A and B are shown apart, each in its own frame.
Chain A
Amino acid sequence: MHLDTKAHGPAIAGDASPATRADATVTLHIHRFDPTIDPVARFDTFVVPQVKDMRVIDALHYVYETLAIDIGYRWYCGTKKCGTCAVRVNGRETLACWEAAELEMRIEPLRHLPIVRDLCVDRQPVEDKLVALETWLVRKQPYQVFPEPIDINNAEMLRPTLDCISCLACYSACPVLDFNETIPFAGPAALVHLARVALDARDAGGRIATIVNEAHVHHCVSCYKCEEVCPAHIPIVSRAIEPLKQLAYTQSPETSRHASAFIDIIRRRGRIEPMLLVLKTQGLAALRRPRRAFRLIARGKVAPLAAFLRRPIAGIVNLRHYFDQKS
């Protein structure tokens, strides 16, 4: 473990319980907004008594029962199963039923979704995406036998995606969805659901075009913000999004020009030559910005001649062997 972890230990949000006293309180700044009557959103502040092992949802319940009966928030199971109570606490997505109450909390609704009222969001845009991506198994042949045998390795590959409780915390945390009007992207939640069916050996959906052109899997920036907030601890990037990219690359390499170009360059040179990568990925479109290209060359960031002539790394012959072996 490196320094940051060793020195501080994992940060525990809301570790307020040990200090609990009879007169201790928790302060909530709750996002209030009713789109039918409010021109803008506001934050209302409530101070509630702190109790032992208090969760965010307990504080919200207290506010609802004693201070503001009109407050809008959603919950059902209270035990991390139903995925309905996800909110943002001090800027981070979490399940209200699972997160310890902090002494001072700014509680906001999930991002990237229309607000119904206060902390309640309209899940419809995501439901629409799931329908558009056909996130159900497509079967074109009748079952050979029943019950149908399931391949253990395939089941193991799918297992993490089955843990999703559709709380949409990841959908809120994803920075690419901040710009969904200009950058098309299905978002992590929808990609988890898509992976669950696309990676299933029984599926006959023929999904490459959907993965690449409708879900826009290549617009995932690999920032891992989705993994950080997922209450089910699903490795969303490495067990859902990357396998979808792998599927697209192996079944239809022309849909993954960047990956194909990348692998080809490392195979030949041992390391990446950024100028060649951009040229191979974008084609002539790479020349759209002559001013930038000129400045990059002037500052020595790009050296066109060297990019073509640079010698491969030492031991390149051995390295190529790994690319040419079938694993």
Chain B
Amino acid sequence: MTSIAFYPGCSASTTCTELGQSTRAVAARLDINLHTLHSASCTGSREVRAADPELFVTLNVRIIALAEAEGLDLMTICNTCTLNLLDAKRRVDTDAGLRERVNARLASEKLVYRGVARITHFLWYLLDDYGEAHLRQQITTPLTGQRVAAFYGCHIVRPPEHFGFVDSRNVRSIERLADILGCETIDYSGRTECCGFHCSAENETVPIKLSGRHIASAQDAGAQALVTPCPLCHTVLDTFQDDMATDLRRPLDMPVLHLPQLVGLALGIHRASLGLERHIVSVRRFVNGVKGGIR
């Protein structure tokens, strides 16, 4: 059994509890020991990083230090958390003065950032660490004939300094994972586009306008569901979909799956353990299409 420090983020315990639930179910099935960091705080989303950059770095480096105290690498299930942790790590790794100041603050909790823990997202963990071949062996219910559209979101593919893409449209990880799970992926306008989540509290017209056209594009391309590695994208695509349909004056009705839910279906995990009934747009039709997966 391999172990990894698990940073669930805020969404997995509030608006997207089904994400935390399905991640844990998949990890248990794959014999991955998730060591949940219970005293980890929010990474600050976009707000703290803009308003108080040094507090932002402190919060994130503290989370990494919590993982290092356990001697483990750190795994996330949210795009924005992933970017924040990578960004804070980059800042302290390239600024010795900042690193010293942050470590001085962390000393009050007897924490120290040493810079040894690697930060990864569950998507990358499955392909990189668990391994494609290994995962392929675990598939019991291939999602044959199902067509999904990958909605990557932004903070797992941009900015270029962190992810190395000259053109982020070249990302293929979800497509590769979907291939292992046995389902088809379709190409459409929204693969690496923005859902607009980070403006949703300020002005929800932004996410509604930004995302509606992408769901329509996926629908036109024949997708039966969207799949996303980010709970923030999920919140927009699922929760605001009604408003998008009204805005576009066309029906959408596009199920949106969290990445671990799609993996869980292919692993034959019972649907109740994946929290599939908690979505605003019903995923029933998609799940019932999984052969042998109707339980």
Contact = CB atoms under 8 A, between A and B. Distances in A.
Nearest to A237: B159
A176 interface: yes
A308 to B, nearest CB: 12
Contact of A3 (B14, B50, B127, B205): B127
A11 to B, nearest CB: 4
B38 A313 contact: yes
A99 B196 CA distance: 30
Interface string A291-313: 01001100111100001000001
Contacts of A6: 128
B94 interface: no
B278 interface: yes
A222 B198 contact: yes
A247 to B, nearest CB: 10
Interface in A257-275: 258-259, 262-263, 266, 270-275
A296 B280 contact: yes
Contact of A270 (B41, B171, B173): B41
Given A219-B202, A292-B239, A5 B163 contact: yes
A5 B164 contact: yes
Interface string A139-153: 000000000000000
Interface in A153-179: 175-176, 178-179
B161 interface: yes
B42 A322 contact: no
A256 B42 CA distance: 19
Contacts of A225: 154, 158, 194
Interface string A6-22: 10111111000000000
B196 A221 contact: yes
B46 interface: yes
Interface string A307-327: 100000111001101110101
B136 interface: no
B194 A183 contact: no
Interface of A, helix, strand, loop or mixed by DSSP: helix
Interface in B200-224: 201-203, 205-206, 209-210
B167 A11 contact: yes
A228 interface: yes
A246 B53 contact: yes
Interface residues of B, number: 75
A273 B194 contact: no
Contacts of A1: 164
A152 B264 CA distance: 54
A258 B202 contact: yes
Contacts, number: 209
A272 B171 contact: no
B203 A2 contact: no
A246 B50 CA distance: 5
Nearest to B240: A292
B118 to A, nearest CB: 9
B173 A222 contact: no
A259 B50 CA distance: 9
Interface stretch (A41-49, A103-111, A277-285): A277-285
B108 interface: yes
A292 B242 contact: yes
A228 B124 CA distance: 22
Given A1-B164, A227-B160, A278 B278 contact: no
Contact of B160 (A4, A219, A228, A246): A228
B278 A325 contact: no
Given A224-B159, A300-B278, A313 B40 contact: yes
Nearest to B199: A221
Contacts of B10: 271-274
A249 interface: yes
A183 B46 CA distance: 20
B98 to A, nearest CB: 10
Contacts of B198: 221-222
A327 B104 CA distance: 11
Contact of B239 (A8, A249, A301, A322): A301
Interface stretch (B25-33, B54-62, B252-260, B287-295): B54-62
B89 interface: no
B105 A282 contact: no
A245 interface: yes
Nearest to A288: B204
Interface in B9-40: 10-11, 13-17, 38-40
Contacts of B155: 222, 224
Nearest to A300: B278
Nearest to B17: A300
A300 B239 CA distance: 12
A299 B217 CA distance: 27
A228 to B, nearest CB: 5
B170 interface: yes
A74 interface: no
B45 interface: yes
B284 interface: no
A184 B205 CA distance: 11
13 contacts: A3-B124, A13-B166, A178-B210, A219-B199, A219-B202, A228-B168, A241-B50, A249-B52, A258-B202, A266-B41, A321-B108, A322-B55, A327-B54
Top-4 shortest CB links A-B: A223-B194, A224-B158, A5-B164, A315-B39
Interface of B: 10-11, 13-17, 38-42, 44-55, 58-59, 62, 87, 101, 105, 108-109, 120-121, 124, 127-128, 154-155, 157-161, 163-173, 193-194, 196-199, 201-203, 205-206, 209-210, 239, 242-243, 277-280
Given A223-B154, A262-B47, 5 more contacts: A5-B163, A11-B170, A13-B166, A250-B51, A272-B10
